[in-house]
Amino acid sequence: MGVHGLFSPSAMSQKPSADISRPSASRTGRGVRPPAAKRSLGQNFLVDSCVARRIVSAADVTPDDTVIEIGPGRGALTSHLAMVARRLIAIELDDELAPRLREKYATADNVEIVHADAREVQAEALLGPGESYKLVANLPYYAANPIVRKFLAANPAPSVMVFMVQREVGRSMAAQPGDMSLLSVMIQVYGTAKIAFSVPPKAFRPAPKITSAVVRIDVYPKPALDLDRHERFIEFAAAGFRAPRKQLRNSLKTGLGATADEVDSLLASAGIDPKRRPATLSIEEWGGLYELWDSFAESGRGAPSIDA
Ligand code: SAM
């Protein structure tokens, strides 16, 4: 594991050579074929360069930007990012692809390949003091949620995240009140999320069974809630979504293990109609409800603990 190819000013004029998805024998010294796609690592490689360009453009990458790319794979996005970004740090877990990428970008001074699990990496250790960054990725679907949540909660967090996920997951991340889920709440505490565009299975090899979507999150400078209490807030929201199709009062009663009186008094204090469904609450309403519940607990006025 390690980092190489540290930034130098000459990198801005550096033109990376072609995509490594079809490496030549002379370039890799390892034969013509790239390693077969590994399903265990969520390897559905992007083969549509038009989609790759749209992803990079959705992130508004400029020559002033540092970009962290998760899962560069065979380099479908990497080459486009390296052409624009001031500094590109690409984190790849695959033991075969990481050395190939290193070899490929050995002379590109603005590109660093980090052979690591993105779920374990500390963004701070990769960046200079005060260095801001954008995150761009075609994420491995098996680890998309933990990776997105890890970077949203990181210190520093990226200013913008643009990534591909399963379309249903993307829709849930970007949902508005009426369609909110626990995932929407978890994501939108950190920033505003929207779907940039959808991508059909034929844009990948091997082709997945489902449609994908590119999501853009504009991350708030500070999360909408105090980070110290973030995990507790998520536990509270999870309790609220325990019975998502039921009215909020019943869902909270089940999730919190509370009495009907306790939940009614909580909702009345927050000015929230107990008949609403959990999916209709906005982030602000979840935040206000949590603050009240927390203050009830602090003052010992009968707010129950979360029923795990
Ligand atoms: N960016 C490439 C593209 O668009 O064709 C590859 C995308 S593929 C869906 C996901 C990539 O993430 C693969 O290269 C895979 O090896 C890598 N990967 C899987 N799990 C990872 C993890 N935990 N940390 C870093 N990279 C990971």
The domain spanning residue 236 has which CATH number?
1.10.8.100
- Kindly give the distance from the C-alpha atom of residue 95 to the centroid of ligand 1, in angstroms, as a whole number: 11
| Contacts of residue 248, Cβ cutoff 8 Å, sequence gap at least 6 | 240, 267, 272, 273, 274, 275, 276, 277, 278, 281
- Kindly give the distance from the C-alpha atom of residue 144 to the centroid of ligand 1, in angstroms, as a whole number: 10
User: Do both 238 and 291 map to the same domain?
Assistant: yes
Say which amino acid occupies 27: R
What's the pLDDT band for 120 if we cut at 50, 70, 90? Answer: very high
Question: Whose CA is closest to 190, among 241, 154, 139, 136?
Answer: 154
Four-residue CA torsion sign, 182, 187, 190, 192: negative
Using the predicted structure, report yes or no on whether residue 214 has a pLDDT greater than 70. yes
Report pLDDT for 295: 86
User: Do both 245 and 278 map to the same domain?
Assistant: yes
Report pLDDT for 18: 35
What's the pLDDT band for 104 if we cut at 50, 70, 90? Answer: very high
Global pTM reads 0.86
User: Do both 49 and 145 map to the same domain?
Assistant: yes
> Which residues, judged by CB distance below 6 Å to any ligand atom, belong to the binding site of ligand 1?
41-46, 70-74, 76-77, 91-94, 97, 117-119, 138, 140, 143
As for how many domains the chain has, the answer is 2
User: Do both 164 and 43 map to the same domain?
Assistant: yes
Using the predicted structure, report yes or no on whether residue 210 has a pLDDT greater than 60. yes
- Kindly give the distance from the C-alpha atom of residue 69 to the centroid of ligand 1, in angstroms, as a whole number: 9
User: Do both 105 and 201 map to the same domain?
Assistant: yes
Report pLDDT for 229: 78
Within-domain flag for 257: yes
Out of 21-30, 68-77, 108-117, 294-303, pick the least confident. Answer: 21-30
Cα distance between residue 107 and residue 111, in whole Å: 9
Within-domain flag for 25: yes
User: Do both 33 and 172 map to the same domain?
Assistant: yes
Within-domain flag for 295: yes
Q: Which residue has the higher pLDDT, 9 or 103?
A: 103
Mean pLDDT of the chain: 88
Average pLDDT of the segment spanning 154-175: 97
Say which amino acid occupies 123: A
Average pLDDT of the segment spanning 126-152: 97
Report pLDDT for 226: 73
Within-domain flag for 293: yes
Using the predicted structure, report yes or no on whether residue 17 has a pLDDT greater than 50. no
What's the pLDDT band for 192 if we cut at 50, 70, 90? Answer: very high
Q: Which residue puts its alpha carbon closest to atom 10 of ligand 1?
A: 140
User: Do both 62 and 91 map to the same domain?
Assistant: yes
What's the pLDDT band for 225 if we cut at 50, 70, 90? Answer: confident
Q: What atom in ligand 1 is closest to the CA of residue 72?
A: 1
Average pLDDT of the segment spanning 193-202: 98
Within-domain flag for 304: no
Q: What atom in ligand 1 is closest to the CA of residue 141?
A: 9
What's the pLDDT band for 224 if we cut at 50, 70, 90? Answer: confident
- To test ligand 1's pocket by mutation, which of 22, 39, 40, 41 has the most ligand atoms within 8 angstroms of CB? 41
Average pLDDT of the segment spanning 227-240: 86
User: Do both 7 and 138 map to the same domain?
Assistant: yes
What's the pLDDT band for 179 if we cut at 50, 70, 90? Answer: very high
Report pLDDT for 24: 39
Q: Which residue puts its alpha carbon closest to atom 20 of ligand 1?
A: 41
Within-domain flag for 50: yes
Task: Return the half-sphere exposure (C-beta side, CA atoms, 13 A cut-off) of residue 268.
Answer: 6
The domain spanning residue 61 has which CATH number?
3.40.50.150
Q: Which domain holds residue 157?
A: 3-219
Q: What atom in ligand 1 is closest to the CA of residue 69?
A: 1
pLDDT tens string 57-69: 999 999 999 999 9
Within-domain flag for 91: yes
Q: Which residue puts its alpha carbon closest to atom 14 of ligand 1?
A: 73
Within-domain flag for 204: yes
User: Do both 118 and 172 map to the same domain?
Assistant: yes
Q: Which residue puts its alpha carbon closest to atom 19 of ligand 1?
A: 41
Using the predicted structure, report yes or no on whether residue 6 has a pLDDT greater than 70. no
User: Do both 122 and 182 map to the same domain?
Assistant: yes
